[in-house]
Amino acid sequence: MAWCLIKKEADAFLTKLKSGEINPAKLADMTSVERREFFKQFGEGNAKNINALFESKLLLKNQKAGMITWAKQIGNISKRAKTDIISKINRLEDVLSPKEADEFLEDLASKKLNVDVTKEEAKQIFDLAKNIEDNLVKIPDNSPIRSPERLEYGMSKVVFENYLQELKKGTPSVKEWVADYLRNPGKIITEFSGATKSMLATLDNSFFGRQGIKVLFTSPTIWAKNFAKSFKDIGKELVGLDAMDVIKADVFSRPNAINNKYNIAKLDVTNITEEAFPTSIPERIPGFGRLFKASESAFSGAALRMRADLGDKYIKLANDQGVNTLDKVEMEGIGKLINSMTGRGSIGKLGVFGKEINSTFFSIRFLKSNMDTLFGGTKNLLKFPFKSKTMTFAEKQSAKNILKIVGGISSILATAELLHPGSVETDPRSSDFGKIKIGDTRFDVTGGISSLAVLASRITPTVHDGKWGFWQKSTSGKWTNLTEGKFGQRTALDVFEDFWEGKLSPSAGLLRDIWKGEHFAGEEITPTSILRNLTVPLSVQNAKELLDSKNSAPIMSSIILESLGIGVNTYEQRKPKIKSIK
């Protein structure tokens, strides 16, 4: 039978609701018994019915909505597991008391995060997720990027993510820490390798001249804007402010993040660790830690922000051209294009061995990003023009970008040759190809792309002096036919092997050197040389090479360029000291 309050009681209820005497939020924190007691002021016979209506129409609905929002926030579980959790929430028929809600959330959190959490922690996760949802609805449709309401929403997501990361890391005791490493000896190797790589990668602002240099040639405005911001990020970290949280809040709150287009494109802008900084362990070193953190934030922040900027640019361009930016194929192509332009190449199924690969190679994703950039627009090269319907939007942009990149690099090299005749090598079979040589110092302005061109030219049959073979030109100008078969002579296979040996991580490179009985440059292995090659930042090592050389390029200019990511190597003929780059 239908039930309702009489007019007098209904008017009294509405008056108290408007005045705030009846507070739905406070009612939600009460038990059912407490709410029924509260509602007796509107007639003892009505109390039960009013409470039942509140629970079924308001409280249960809000509680379930909040839990579902919480369940959807993290994407590190399978779609099936997430569906199971949400189904379990939807099956609730009665509102949960505070105690029951805590137990229910604890159960869901443990299943979702695959980590044990207390009731208090589960409640905190739920509250943080609800705060995200509350801040989201406050953003007006016309709210610009980095508006206060957007940043408030973004920061609530950052706080949520940081809390989950802390829960997953935990604070193990020394005994638990030792036991963990004894159970997982491979973890010792990966942690050690990551720490040495992070040490070598620090004390510079190298992203813009290395991983991000391709953006300089294709989207110079985005490159310049982020280059300027990176120094502000460094300044914040040096004075003890956290720059990364603000950068993440900006990216997480952008329209294309909220509408899920970044995720559809598989754009690497969430919860990623840049391979140049696989661990933040060096941050704990007294005195050095803040310098390390500044360099890490400048690098990771530049990558994150630049990918988001490029994402916004290409998504808008695609929309303007009538491309369906909800289409998975089109969007994943855009994501791959942007990731490759910013040093984050896809390694496909090998990604499941990420830690192992990262322990073996210095920057395998960066190397793959250069390959993706070179060949991303050539899949349908024979189906030109660019407007061919057989090409995706990303393939067309990739083809255009490679033309801009080649044009940009060529312009720099041509200018250098004009200012310093003889400083540029034009034959791709020489190690100096794509570099500017001043004295005994070489400057790589290609972001590592030239090394791929040199490798391809040396392991592909070409002609020299009218004779076919696998040819190599030394930095001194001497030509070698790698197919002559002379005793002890280098072969094309040696060239291929040396290329990959030069890409090894510091720890893997040490193992290579021990097996060979000398360092990569022919230097004797000593405890001092091992410690230096594993812990001294590359920027410092290269600065020492410049200082030690009698015929180097101008030292201060070279150090500045090296710190900005332009590969600087100084060595005399036949005594190379080439180092792997980030």
pLDDT of residue 6: 67
Residue 277 near residue 271 (C-beta atoms within 8 A): no
pLDDT of residue 471: 93
What mean pLDDT do residues 49-59 have?
A: 58
Residue-by-residue DSSP string for 114-170? TS---HHHHHHHHHHHHHHHHHHTTS-TTPPTT-HHHHHHHHHHHHHHHHHHHHHH-
pLDDT of residue 274: 79
Most confident of 385-399, 441-455, 466-480: 441-455
Q: Please, which residues have CB within 8 angstroms of residue 297's CB and are 6 or more apart in sequence? A: 233, 234, 236, 237, 243, 244, 247
At which residue do the structure tokens 């007006």 appear?
A: 140
Nearest to 582 by CA among 571, 566, 570: 566
Percent of the chain with pLDDT over 90: 48
Q: How many CB atoms lie within 10 A of CB 337?
A: 28
- Residue 488 maps to a domain: yes
Cα 437 to Cα 417: distance, rounded to the nearest angstrom: 10
Mark whether 445 and 494 lie in a shared domain.
Answer: yes
Would you tell me the crossing angle of helices 60-73 and 119-136 to the nearest 10 degrees?
Answer: 90
Mark whether 128 and 162 lie in a shared domain.
Answer: yes
The upper half-sphere exposure of residue 121, i.e. CA atoms within 13 Å in the direction of its Cβ, equals 17
Mark whether 369 and 256 lie in a shared domain.
Answer: yes
pLDDT of residue 82: 55
- Residue 377 maps to a domain: yes
Mark whether 366 and 223 lie in a shared domain.
Answer: yes
- Residue 197 maps to a domain: yes
Residue 48 near residue 55 (C-beta atoms within 8 A): no
Per-residue pLDDT band at 493 (split at 50, 70, 90): very high
Mean pLDDT of the chain: 82
- Residue 16 maps to a domain: yes
- Residue 316 maps to a domain: yes
- Residue 511 maps to a domain: no
Q: What is the domain count for the chain? A: 4
* pLDDT per residue as tens digits for the range 329-385: 999 999 999 999 999 988 877 766 667 787 788 889 999 999 999 887 555 554 555
Percent of the chain with pLDDT over 70: 76
Q: What angle do CA 22, 25, 28 make, to 5 degrees?
A: 100
- Give yes or no for residue 2 having a pLDDT over 80: no
Mark whether 19 and 139 lie in a shared domain.
Answer: no
- Residue 530 maps to a domain: no
Mark whether 100 and 144 lie in a shared domain.
Answer: yes
* pLDDT per residue as tens digits for the range 165-220: 787 676 666 666 667 666 777 778 888 888 898 899 899 999 999 999 999 999 99
Mark whether 424 and 399 lie in a shared domain.
Answer: no
Domain boundary, last residue among 361, 378, 404? 404
Q: Where are the alpha helices (DSSP H) in 321-363?
A: 328-341, 354-360
Residue 471's DSSP bridge partners are: 481
Least confident among 122-126, 133-137, 138-142: 122-126
- Give yes or no for residue 75 having a pLDDT over 50: no
Long-range CB pairs of 317-326 (<8 Å, 24+ gap) are: 317/397, 318/393, 321/393, 323/393, 325/261, 326/261, 326/264
Domain boundary, last residue among 74, 107, 138? 74
- Give yes or no for residue 408 having a pLDDT over 90: yes
Range of the domain at 24: 1-74
Residue 552 near residue 440 (C-beta atoms within 8 A): yes
- Give yes or no for residue 99 having a pLDDT over 50: yes
pLDDT of residue 436: 96
- Give yes or no for residue 25 having a pLDDT over 80: no
Convert 20-32 to b/e letters by CB count within 10 Å (16 or more is b): eebeeeebbebeb
Mark whether 293 and 250 lie in a shared domain.
Answer: yes
Residue 218's DSSP bridge partners are: none
pLDDT of residue 581: 44
Domain boundary, last residue among 166, 183, 200? 183
Q: Compute, in degrees rounded to 10, the torsion defined by CA atoms 475, 477, 482, 483.
A: 170
Per-residue pLDDT band at 273 (split at 50, 70, 90): confident
- Residue 284 maps to a domain: yes
Is the pTM value of this prediction over 0.85? no
Mark whether 29 and 121 lie in a shared domain.
Answer: no
Mark whether 161 and 220 lie in a shared domain.
Answer: no
Mark whether 192 and 327 lie in a shared domain.
Answer: yes
- Give yes or no for residue 511 having a pLDDT over 50: yes
Mark whether 292 and 361 lie in a shared domain.
Answer: yes
